[in-house]
Structure 1
Amino acid sequence: MGLDLEEEKKKLAAKKSRIEAKEKRLKEKERKVRTRRLIELGGLVSKAGIDELDSNALLGALLEIKEKVQEETLKKWQEKGEAAFEKDKVENGEALIVAFGTEPSKEIKGKLKNLGLRWNRFRKEWQGYAQKALVEKELQGLDVKIEAIDG
């Protein structure tokens, strides 16, 4: 009977350890999602051209926006933002990730650089802003995956 109790304690301790590890991974994932969102917000502030404002002015502007949020105003802002993103996409291309099944030739690497993409050595893929149709045309017939990242 004492042996069964000790065995049960070990099982519960192992289960507790697994739950704690899972909780730690979940918190880390939540932290990464929050960090990514904060970085995106900083990018939006920069894209809007108001990143030169001092912190007090920027916070004041954001608080005023919060006060003015109404359904019709929000819809107008969404349309204006969507148009700005679309204009930027037409002018500068869209965020792309290009991954190859096998290492591309020097010629292909040169084309990717000329198209505005850069090698990410950690993720082992090409990334950057470019016209997707142009990249697809240049890489036609190759073992490649081209993914557009929604901004």
Structure 2
Amino acid sequence: MTAARHRLEAQRARNDTRDWVVKRRERTRQLIELGGLVAKAGLVELTDDDRAVLFGVMIDAAATLKGEQRDQARTLWRRRGRRAFEQLQNE
């Protein structure tokens, strides 16, 4: 395949507005952003990129959010997250 043809196909793919393509693109973007949050939090380095540990941390967080302390945990985590975002912006 020539480079020009490859560029043309790539452009068509970017401009594809079929519903399932748009939804897939949105989901892909969401997953990339969530992965970025895991990296920004330092969890990749702190766990030596151990996916089982990362998944376990998320399972614990989900269990907390299902429990009686849900509202308190969300409030605390939201405050911490906002402060961390502000610090990142100020760096």
Report the secondary structure of 2:43's partner residue: coil
* Residue of structure 2 equivalent to 1:39: 32
Higher strand share: 1
TM-aligned CA deviation for residue 72 of structure 1: 1.3
In percent, how many aligned pairs have the same letter? 38
TM-score normalised over the length of structure 1: 0.43
Query: Structure 2 length as normaliser, TM-score?
Result: 0.71
Unaligned stretches of 5+ in structure 2?
1-16
What is the RMSD computed on CA atoms of the aligned residues? 1.2
Which structure is richer in relative contact order (CA contacts within 8 A, separation 6 or more)?
1
Determine which structure has more spread, i.e. the larger CA radius of gyration. 1
| Structure 1 gap ranges (5+) | 1-23, 92-151
Correspondence 1:75 to 2:68: no
Q: 1:29 aligns with which of 22, 32, 54?
A: 22
CA shift, 1:77, in A, is 0.3
CA displacement 1:9-43 (0-9 Å, x = unmatched):
xxxxxxxxxxxxxxx71110110110001001110
Instruction: Report which of the two has the higher share of helix.
Output: 2
Letter in structure 2 aligned against 1:67: A
1:1-151 matches, cutoff 5 A: 25-52=18-45, 53=47, 54-69=50-65, 70-91=70-91
Letter in 2 for 1:62: M
